[in-house]
Structure formats: C-alpha cells, structure tokens
Structure 1
Amino acid sequence: MTALNPAADLVDLTRALVDTPSESGDEADLADAVESALRACPHLRVQRIGSSVVARTDSGRAERVIIGGHLDTVPTAGNLPSRLDGELLYGLGACDMKGGLAVALRLAATLTAPVRDVTYVFYECEEVSGDRNGLNRIAAECPDLLKADLAILMEPSGASVEAGCQGVLNADITVRGERAHTARSWMGVNAAHRAAAVLQRLDDHTAERILIDGLEYREGLNAVAVRAGIADNVVPDTCVITVNLRFAPSRSAEQAETYLRGLFREYEIEVTEVVPGALPGLGQGPVASLVEALGATPRPKLGWTDVARFAALGTPALNYGPGDPALAHTAGEYVSIGQLRECEARLQAWLSG
C-alpha cells in the first residue's frame, strides 16, 4: 500500500497521489492510503464506505463545512508517473483532481482546531456513470455525513470560484425511412438522408445565454453520435441522432426536456439521461461569506459537477480548486504549484478564522 504523509510538502503529497493509480473502479489502494493517513490524526473521526473515506472534526462549532473531492481518474494516456517541470506538475489526474485532493488532505491533517467543523469526503467513481458515484452510496447508507451548511468541491477551477453548474440531458432523436436494396434504392426512403434536416436544425440552433446572480450560463445543444444502416447494400430505414443538451441551472429537468421536445416536435425522442444543475446561490450566507473571504470573482461553472448532488440534498455548494478545468482528461494535464499553494493558504485562513 502507498504510504501518504499528509503533513508533507504539498508538492510531494500531490506527486504521491498522482503516482498512485486510481482509475474509476480501482480506487481501493488509494482509499486505503488515504484512510490510513487520516486515522493517524487524533482530531478526526474516520469512516470507510466502499472505496470512499469520510473524516470529520467534531468540536461543536456553529457551522459545518464539507470539503470534498473524488479519488478516481480517467484511464491513463501515457501520463504516469508524474513529472515536475518548473512550476508545473504533470501527470494523470494532476489537474482533475489530485491537486485538489492534496490540498484537502493537508487541511485535514494540519487543521486540528478549525473555527468551523469540517467533513472531508474523498469518494469513488465520479468519472463514470452517476449510479456508481460514491456520494450516492454515502447518502444512502450514512446521510448524516453529508449534512452541512456549505460544501466546497475541490474540482479544478483555476483557484477561482466556479458557482453552480449546468444540467445535462442526453436523448436519441429517431428519423424513420423505408428499407430497400441499394440496387433499387428508389423503392425505399433513406432515413440517413432524412436525418440531414435534424442535423441542419442543430447547426442553425442558437444556444441561449441565461443570466443568474450576475453569472452568464451558456447553454449548448449538439449532436454527439449518428447511427444508421445494417449493411452496405441496404437503404437504412432508421437513423438515430444522439444529442447532448447542457442547460442553465434555472431550468428544471422537466423544463429542459420540454425545451428539447419543442425544438423537434415531429420526431421521436427518447430521453436517456437527464440530470439537473445547481443554482449558484451567491446570495446565500455561507456561500457569500466564503466568496468574500477567498477574494475571488465568481464565474459560472460551464459543465456538471457534484455541486448538483449537494444542492439536491439542500446544501449550498461551489467549486474551488487548483488546476485549469480545460486541461481535465487531457494527456498533458498539469497543475500549477502556485495554485496548489494559493488554494491551501486561502482555505486554511478561512477555516482558521
């Protein structure tokens, strides 16, 4: 098992985390290391749930804050082990999100008497289908562990606050035709050709820009897959276009579905997944207090993160962590040493009062 020293230098700790493989579904070794390191801290109560680890202070403070991050990464892309190049630390998950994990681990180990009680959540399977997400299991088995006044997800946000998040809807649009032999194609109707009208409508579509709490959430509607045909001598009678809608958090899941169906009324639509987003909540007390303390100008989160899960539990949440979110999942991902230290210093100051 990897030995982690959460009181070590932040860069060394980040490298140790990066160099411990933890692809989704294979986080057990890293979870073991995190659990072992945190159980050595007498001020924390530690609980293991699957391959997720939860550690809590319990000092009876007036507020409780969750600091969370996922242990898993996407599959390797030839980017292990880690390497340090000046002020940049490269490696699988360095940006998404082992840099954020390192900051959280350091805070958990070194802040023995924070002015706010803190629950540190290190969870499994964020990078795969939502039904495997470790937060779901924690919420189902130990819901009290996720109760707090505020949740901070250490997702990469460039050491700035990214508030709220977009919702996600995936759907299949089916275009019908009539099958025929390609030697007598005039006897059929080519569904793939008919699908051009759907693709053109998507290309012509202007995504909406919606202002919430002074933040502009840009929506997006795109075809992400087109499937037709069963053989190279058969006119296809069915063409399925999979679309992905990223919608502003002011829309509910039902409103997002109604919106999509309204754009393609004459077609068959099967919604395969819809997950609501989270409102930024910048006017809420705990969120406003943290944003002010961090001295950051909030930006909208253009993407979906687990802040939405916390919002569904009634806990205001935001994204704040080191790393450029545009680098997430790329082969060349890295995290800035400066952002690592900045996030640790600012959170430590806020939690220390």
Structure 2
Amino acid sequence: MVNPLTPEVLADPVALTRALVDIESVSLNEKEITDCVEEVLRAAPHLSVRRFGNTVMARTELGRAQRVVLAGHLDTVPLNNNFPSSQRGDELWGCGTSDMKSGVAYALQLAVSLPDPRYDITYFFYEAEEIESRYNGLFLVSQAHPEWLRADFAVLLEPTHGVVEAGCQGTMRATVTTTGRRAHSARSWHGVNAIHAAAEVLRRLATYQGRTVVLDGCTYREGLNAVRINGGVAGNVVPDRCEVQVNYRFAPDRSPELAQAHVEEVFAGFEVTVTDLAPGALPSLTAPPAREFLAAVGSAPVGKLGWTDVARFAALGIPALNFGPGDPNLAHAQDERVEIGKLLDGARTLRRWLTTP
C-alpha cells in the first residue's frame, strides 16, 4: 500500500491521528501500521531505528545528559462499527482515537520534526498492549533488548484527558473456590451446595471497604470486586464446586506480596488461587525531567486509577507518567473519540517541554 503518513499529514497532529486510526491495527494485526511508522522513522536522518516484531524503537544520539522515553502502543481493541475515522464538529471519532493513536501521533510527529531536543529521546511504537502481557511489545523488548529501554524518565501516551496521571494501580486476579457434596436435587439434604456457600464470599465483597491512599498528593482508590462466577453441574444436581473470580485493584504502596496476603485474609477459610498479579507504580514525581514536564503541563497530577505500562518502566527503576489527549472513559467504547482542542493543546505542551531550556 502507499504509505498514508505523508509529510503533509505528519505536520498536522489532527490529520496524523486520523491517518493512524484509518490503518486498522487490532491486536496481533499491527504489521501494516508498523511498516508505515517504520518507513517514516527511517527517513529521518537524526534517528537510529530498530525493529523487533511489530515494535519499532527510534532514538536520538546527541550525547545529552539525560534520556527520556515517549511510548505509545499501535494496537486497538476489536472494531465495533467505529472504523474508519470521522470528524464531527470539534471531535475525531473512531476506534483508537482516544486509546491511543492520538498519543502515538504526538510521538511520531515529534520524532520526525524535532532533530535537536533538550534531552536525548527514545520513541517506542509497540504492539499488543490490549491483550495478554506475553504479547506486549514492551515486555518482549525488555526480554530481548533491555538496553533499548534505558532512560531517566518516561512518558506513556495513554489517554488521560490532558492531565498528568501519575503512577498506576497494581492489579490482581484470583479465584475463590467453595466446595460441597453432590446430590440429586430431589434429595438435596444429602448434599452440600457449593453455590450456596459462595453467598459468604459475596457477602464479604459487598461489605468490603477499599482503602483510599494519598501518595505525593495523588489519590489512589482501591477496589475488590467479583467479576465472574462459575458453578453448576446439571439442572438436577446439587453442585459440589463454585468459583468466584475477583479482581483487586490496589494502591502502588502495596507490593504484590502484600496484595496477595490481603486478599487471602479477606477470604480466610476459602481456597484462593492467584491467576494474575502485576505491581503498580509509585507517582515518581521527583526526577528532574518529571518536574520539568509537570511545569510544562501547568496543572497538578492525579493518581492513575488503572494499570498501565508505566509499571514496566517503574520495575526497571525508570520514573514514568501517563499523559495523552484522549478521555480514558471513552477507551474501548463504540463512541470512542478525542477532542481536537485537547489533541492540539497536548502537542504544544510536549513540544514546549522538549524544546525549552
């Protein structure tokens, strides 16, 4: 195909966002968009470019005292009658407009148009953020080429509606199992109903009060919720097993070990099996590039309620923040959209941060 990311498109963050949205890139189908992004980056003489799978890394080598990362994922959730893009008044609509091709547009425009930034910059355009972690481009790079990730600070261009969202919550998924004894439902007193036993699990969830934690002025609210229940054998059988799947979102001052211990304490007396556990990330507001970035944005940060790849950078000792024009409440929605004003404001903010001494 002819690359739609022409010089004219690259010069305009609004047109660039639309062009990126109009390249379909549902998770694991990112080759076409990655090819287009790679071609543009390799044409910029001031960038060193590497590719691993459908993840592209481009970096300046100016010998600056500090290096920062701008990172955005190229994939989207499945289309939902919201492709291709459209402009409606002062908004762009379409799959990926908010999460997060408007953020990708920021990084791509800066990468090709800013040969002499105040920091050395590493740009990541990566695959498969919206699905299982084992496919995630940043994860794969961290395993194969960890040196690509080295930096003093990182900005993940996730949708934040133009505010800085610091750190992120940790997330844990677990299965709480109740057991009983099978019996014919006509003679149920011979059995013990495992689904009925799950009522106590649900009672504990219904009365659970999550912590509210303030770290560096950023508020993180915890939550523990049932997200699925599996149980039953047949229409005439008292079941002997029921599984309640729970999701715990915890503040970044808790380690994964403490999070697991807390959930096990809440469900004491029941079998608890952890199926997925990822640490959060502390706000990381003290690194010099972070302070300078906050000054460029000009508003106070808030805590990130959710898990993002800032946690991957935090695990490597790299302070990281979330910043992007999209509204996170519209991510993955059929009516996903981004405000053009927010998009333009954010583009100016990033350029000001990267060019003002």
TM category, shorter: over 0.9
Kept in 1, the 8 Å contact 2:183–2:190? The answer is: yes
Unaligned runs of 5+ in 2: none
Kept in 1, the 8 Å contact 2:74–2:126? The answer is: yes
Q: Residue 7 of structure 1: which of 10, 16, 22 is its match?
A: 10
TM-superposed deviation, 1:143: 1.2
1:342 and 2:345 are equivalent in the alignment:
yes
Q: Residue 94 of structure 1: which of 97, 105, 112 is its match?
A: 97
Q: Residue 146 of structure 1: which of 133, 146, 149 is its match?
A: 149
Normalised by the length of structure 2, the TM-score is: 0.97
Amino acid at match of 1:323: G
Residue in 1 that maps onto 2:321: 318
1:19 and 2:31 are equivalent in the alignment:
no
TM-superposed deviation, 1:200: 1.0
Amino acid at match of 1:78: N
Residues in 1 aligned to 2:230 and 2:350: alpha-carbon distance in whole angstroms: 48
Q: Residue 241 of structure 2: which of 229, 238, 241 is its match?
A: 238
Residue in 1 that maps onto 2:267: 264
SS at match of 1:195: helix
Residue in 2 that maps onto 1:56: 59
TM-superposed deviation, 1:8: 3.1
Q: Residue 132 of structure 1: which of 108, 130, 135 is its match?
A: 135
Give CA-to-partner distance per residue, 1:37-79, whole Å, 9 cap, x none: 1111111111111000011111111111100000000001110
1:284 and 2:284 are equivalent in the alignment:
no
Amino acid at match of 1:277: G
Residues in 2 aligned to 1:296 and 1:39: alpha-carbon distance in whole angstroms: 35
Kept in 1, the 8 Å contact 2:222–2:249? The answer is: yes
TM-superposed deviation, 1:178: 0.7
What root-mean-square deviation, in Å, do the aligned CA atoms of Structure 1 and Structure 2 show? Answer: 0.9
Residues in 2 aligned to 1:293 and 1:100: alpha-carbon distance in whole angstroms: 17
Residues in 1 aligned to 2:62 and 2:106: alpha-carbon distance in whole angstroms: 22
Amino acid at match of 2:90: E
Residue in 1 that maps onto 2:189: 186
Give CA-to-partner distance per residue, 1:100-131, whole Å, 9 cap, x none: 01111111111111111111000001001111
Which moved further from structure 2: 4-13 or 335-344? 4-13
Residues in 1 aligned to 2:225 and 2:354: alpha-carbon distance in whole angstroms: 42
Q: Residue 298 of structure 1: which of 292, 301, 312 is its match?
A: 301
Residues in 1 aligned to 2:127 and 2:91: alpha-carbon distance in whole angstroms: 26
Residue in 1 that maps onto 2:230: 227
Residues in 1 aligned to 2:222 and 2:57: alpha-carbon distance in whole angstroms: 34
Normalised by the length of structure 1, the TM-score is: 0.98
Unaligned runs of 5+ in 1: none
Query: In the TM superposition, what are the counterparts of 1:30-109 in structure 2 within 5 Å?
Result: 30-109=33-112
SS at match of 1:201: helix
TM-superposed deviation, 1:9: 1.7
Q: Residue 116 of structure 1: which of 113, 116, 119 is its match?
A: 119
Residues in 1 aligned to 2:301 and 2:321: alpha-carbon distance in whole angstroms: 10
Residues in 1 aligned to 2:11 and 2:220: alpha-carbon distance in whole angstroms: 39
Give CA-to-partner distance per residue, 1:286-310, whole Å, 9 cap, x none: 2222112221210100000000000
SS at match of 2:247: strand
Residue in 2 that maps onto 1:174: 177
Query: In the TM superposition, what are the counterparts of 1:175-214 in structure 2 within 5 Å?
Result: 175-214=178-217
Instruction: Give the fraction of aligned pairs with identical amino acids, expressed as a percent.
Output: 52
Residues in 2 aligned to 1:317 and 1:185: alpha-carbon distance in whole angstroms: 56
SS at match of 1:271: strand
SS at match of 1:189: coil
Residues in 2 aligned to 1:230 and 1:124: alpha-carbon distance in whole angstroms: 40
SS at match of 1:171: strand
Kept in 1, the 8 Å contact 2:153–2:287? The answer is: no
Kept in 1, the 8 Å contact 2:217–2:302? The answer is: no
Amino acid at match of 2:260: E
Give CA-to-partner distance per residue, 1:121-151, whole Å, 9 cap, x none: 0000100111111011111222111001100
TM-superposed deviation, 1:346: 0.8
Give CA-to-partner distance per residue, 1:134-179, whole Å, 9 cap, x none: 0111112221110011000000011110000000000000001110
